[in-house]
Amino acid sequence: MPVFRPTASARSILSLVLGLTACATAVPALAQGAPPAPPVQVSAPLAKRVTNWDEFTGRFEASEQVEVRARVSGFLDSVHFRDGQIVKTGDLLFTIDPRPYQLAVDAARAEVVRAKAQVDLTQNEVERAEALTQNRTITARDIDQRRANLNSALGQQQGAQANLKTAELNLEWSQVRAPLAGRISNRRVDPGNLIAGGQTGATLLTTIVASDPIYFSFDASEADYLRYSRLAAEKVRASSRDNGTPTLVRLADEREWRREGQMNFVDNALNARSGTIRGRAVFANADQFLTPGTFGRLRLYAGEVDALLVPDSVIVSDQANKLVLTVGPENKVVPKPVVLGQISEGLRVVTSGLAAGDRVIIGGLANPMVRPGATVTPQPGEIKPAATN
């Protein structure tokens, strides 16, 4: 029996037919093996009434500050404090050589004694003259003269007593004492130097700052000032001028807002150059940890608002906006640009861009297939505030 051997052209036609058959059977296979839509967890944003805080940058200032200067001149005898220590009101700080002022006190006392003796003498002369008027031994003119001498002696005595008080006051001022309680700076003059005292040109000896309580000053914009004023006019938020509006502050190396204070001053005018207004809050500082001049971040109570909250981890970014991925019609991923607010109870406040009924993707974002326009399989989830101790 002869063996069939296909020609070259027949073999080509056979190969083409077999290839088309294989492609026809492969298309359904690929369609049957397509990956399913990735699952994601979705939840409506958490609707909650939250306390609204505005943040400002400022610095701490001393609640009181004084430059210590001597009221009298002289040689500085001794210093009675350690540089940088805490002092109390009335603590002795410097001693000026008291000997010249002690001599002035002694001389003033002697003058008082002399004046008093003159008063006694003239008083006796007046009394004797009055006794002699009954038998007309002395004239009325002599009596008037003696009474004038007595009045003059009384005036000299009062002047001597005033000079004594002045001398005693100068002697007291030779001891320079702390006018307020606080932390003292270093001494600016060493013992042995001649210092000038008085109301003008007095030598600066040191400075003292009171830091318990301590002030925190900051500048708010005109827009913020107008917003606060309108809230106060609508009785939504009390004015910081009339009430101690709550504030929080943290330092540059702190993450928590644990230091509580309150507003105690708002300036009476906006700065014409910067368009800002100065505000000030006061904080307790019993441990003296907060130091004047330190920068900090302040939160100012701005009322309560109804807000939508989402986990901070679901916020994504493009080149210009912050986005939240949501599940829209036909289970397709729809990005929504949002405006973010503060953190409240561990969740991020969304001030605009979301609706209460939106289905926000809160789980499954790490899957590279979950991207705008992709189809997903939504599964119910829940947004919960962080637990507070």
C-beta of residue 182 within 8 angstroms of C-beta of residue 87: yes
pLDDT value of position 267: 93
Q: What is the pLDDT of residues 158-180, one digit of tens each?
A: 999 999 999 999 999 999 999 99
Contacts of residue 68, Cβ cutoff 8 Å, sequence gap at least 6? 93, 94, 176, 178, 179, 204, 205, 206, 207, 208
Q: Which CATH class is domain 65-97+174-208?
A: mainly beta
pLDDT over 90 at 194, yes or no? yes
Domain topology for 53-62+210-304: Elongation Factor Tu (Ef-tu); domain 3 (2.40.30)
- As annotated, the residues of the chain forming the CATH 2.40.50.100 domain(s) are 65-97+174-208
pLDDT at 352: 86
The mean per-residue pLDDT over the stretch 77-102 comes to: 95
Is 291:55 a contact under the CB 8 Å cutoff?
A: no
* Residue 66 pLDDT exceeds 60: yes
Q: Which comes out higher in pLDDT, residue 18 or 281?
A: 281
- Residues 369-388: tens digit of each pLDDT: 888 888 989 899 888 887 65
Where along the chain do the CATH 2.40.30.170 domains lie?
53-62+210-304
- CA 83 from chain centre, in angstroms, equals 27
For the chain, the average pLDDT equals: 86
pLDDT in tens, 99-125: 999 999 999 999 999 999 998 888 888
pLDDT at 163: 94
Fold of 39-49+306-380: 2.40.420
In the prediction, which pLDDT does 344 show? Answer: 81
Categorize the per-residue pLDDT at 294 as very low, low, confident or very high, splitting at 50, 70 and 90. very high
CB 216 within 8 A of CB 61: yes
Q: Over range 275-304, report the average pLDDT.
A: 92
pLDDT value for 34: 59
Instruction: State the pLDDT at residue 236.
Output: 78
Topology, domain 99-173: Helix Hairpins (1.10.287)
Question: What integer pLDDT is reported at residue 128 of this predicted model?
Answer: 79
pLDDT recorded at residue 136: 67
Q: What is the pLDDT of residue 28?
A: 45
Residue 140 has pLDDT above 80, yes or no: no
Q: How confident is the model at residue 21 (pLDDT cuts 50, 70, 90)?
A: very low
Per-residue pLDDT averaged across 35-60, rounded? Answer: 88
